[in-house]
Amino acid sequence: MRLNKLGIILTSSALTVGLFSTTVSAAPNGTNQTSKPIVQVAASNVVYTKDDLIKKFRSYFPKQFDSLKSSDFQMSSGNYYTPEDETSRYSLSFTQTIEGKRVYGSVGFVGDNLDIEHFSYSPPIGSDALFPAKVSKDEARKLAVDFVKTLLKEDSYQLESDNNYYYPTRILTEPINYSFSFTKTKNDISISDNRVDINVLGNGQITSFYKYPSTQEKNTFDEVKNIKSEKDILNKLKENLEVELQYQVNIDYQSGERTVKLVYQPTGNFLGLSAATGKWLTPNGYTDQFPSKAKLKKIVEKPLPAKQKGITMEQAKKAAEKLLENKSDKLKLSIQSIDEIENYNGQTVYSIQYMYNHRNGGSGASIEINKATGEVIQYHNMLGYLMNELGEKQEVAKPISQKDALAKATSYIKEWFLLTYTTLVCLSMSLIMRKIWAHITSPSHELLMA
């Protein structure tokens, strides 16, 4: 994440709680493994072995890893990012002991040509990587530029000038790392989803490379002609720019300390302006009218009382089982553990780890329930995804309108959350709406996330 510090808008954070889930899967493996694992590339007749990947890897890093033997490498099978993206990807990892220290790395390949997509390496750290580093930032920048040109074999990637990343304070005994980012261009204009990140160690070694997945070949690009001038667009922005007062929460990620500042925040529910027409770009497409931010609207006039005055661990378990209930005979719910912890906001909560066991292994996540009120703090419904993965036919309900989805979202908020904030910002509602809208044809339009 590129930032100096992270600001969280207090009024818009009442409902937008961070959501993370983990997936675990297991499948039986045969005991007899061949020395050259083979994987078939989807939609292609090309077959690759581990030796093919090693050869390709050495071509990207000539002489640097000559000491590695074939037995030092492990190859994983092909995989995909999404069902829609059928591009095959392969991983090759390696480990080696150098001067009594264990070093390791991995490289990812993509497509029939085995283009490198990511690379990471943890080498032994010598004095030349510590302060004062053997390589200066300017020298490291040149190494990164040369590496990108050699690796990608094209000149359309340009170095970003504002490498303004957030890093914690470093001490002198830690190795020096330089980070650089490159953006691909078309007609000398950057493409937002075509980026490359590189890290260079203080001794000049490339320690990581990541090329963001992209399906650019499926995109079309407007010609850079007969477009609005930058001056006209700036004037249009100035004419419509608005600000509002907000309490902004700033977090020091070293100490965990939070400070609240009262600031004027620019508003406007738009993503940009069309270079050709000057229309406003919004999540729903282009519009002639400036998409002003919706006004704050109260969901309830007075704070709702707590559903319960304190909740036991057993009650929390039952509430979780009710949320996670499913009728499929292909899934078996298992509550793995329940821990009483203090969350990021200083609340005492029950963190309930659960698992859906199925024929391919298991998939799980967690639920957080406020101990003092019974309020659901965090929840994610993965049943739809699992049913699709298991090939279970699901009943498709009649689609509902955005207005009906908003009414459902509001009713779920009243049911599952303690509304101690009498005024809730519309941004919070819009984030919930996007989740519901994304699954608008789910079987029963159940609550999807909290």
Average pLDDT of every residue of the chain:
76
Phi, psi (degrees; rounded to nearest 5) at 180: -140, 145
The whole-model pTM stands at 0.57
CB < 8 Å & 24+ apart, contacts of 283-288: 283/434
**Burial status of residue 324 (CB atoms within 10 A of its CB: 0-12, 13-18, 19 or more):** buried
The per-residue pLDDT for range 343-401, each reduced to its tens digit, is 877 889 999 999 888 877 888 889 999 998 888 888 887 887 788 777 777 777 788 89
Would you place residue 39 in the very low, low, confident or very high pLDDT band (cuts 50, 70, 90)? very low
The per-residue pLDDT for range 211-232, each reduced to its tens digit, is 887 665 667 777 788 888 999 9
The pLDDT value given to residue 379: 86
**Which of 23-37, 41-55, 77-91, 341-355 is least confident?**
23-37
pLDDT at residue 439 greater than cutoff 60: no
Whole-angstrom distance, CA of residue 108 vs CA of residue 119: 6
The pLDDT value given to residue 306: 74
* DSSP class of 110: E
Per-residue H/E/C for 197-211: EEEEECCCCEEEEEE
Higher pLDDT, 36 or 190: 190
The pLDDT of 188-204, averaged and rounded, is: 86
CA 406, chain centre distance (Å): 26
Percent pLDDT > 90 in the chain is: 17
Tokens linked to 54: 């090693």
Q: List the 157-159 sheet strands across, edge first.
A: 73-75, 89-98, 101-110, 115-122, 206-211, 189-201, 177-186, 157-159
The pLDDT value given to residue 4: 36
Whole-angstrom distance, CA of residue 213 vs CA of residue 217: 12
Tokens linked to 367: 């639920």
The pLDDT value given to residue 217: 60
Half-sphere exposure of 328 (CA within 13 A, CB side): 21
Single-letter code of the amino acid located at 347:
Q
Tokens linked to 38: 């083979």
The pLDDT value given to residue 270: 86
pLDDT at residue 443 greater than cutoff 50: no
Tokens linked to 378: 């965090």
Would you place residue 316 in the very low, low, confident or very high pLDDT band (cuts 50, 70, 90)? very high
Would you place residue 426 in the very low, low, confident or very high pLDDT band (cuts 50, 70, 90)? very low
* Alpha helices by DSSP H, 96-250: 137-152, 230-240
The pLDDT of 89-93, averaged and rounded, is: 88
Higher pLDDT, 42 or 400: 400
What lies within 8 Å, CB to CB, of 364 at 6+ separation is 21, 22, 23, 24, 336, 353, 354, 355, 356
Single-letter code of the amino acid located at 444:
S
Whole-angstrom distance, CA of residue 256 vs CA of residue 250: 10
- Contact between residue 342 and residue 370 where contact means Cβ atoms under 8 Å apart: no
Higher pLDDT, 357 or 449: 357
The pLDDT value given to residue 312: 92
pLDDT at residue 26 greater than cutoff 50: no
The per-residue pLDDT for range 244-291, each reduced to its tens digit, is 888 998 887 777 788 899 999 888 788 889 888 899 998 888 988 888
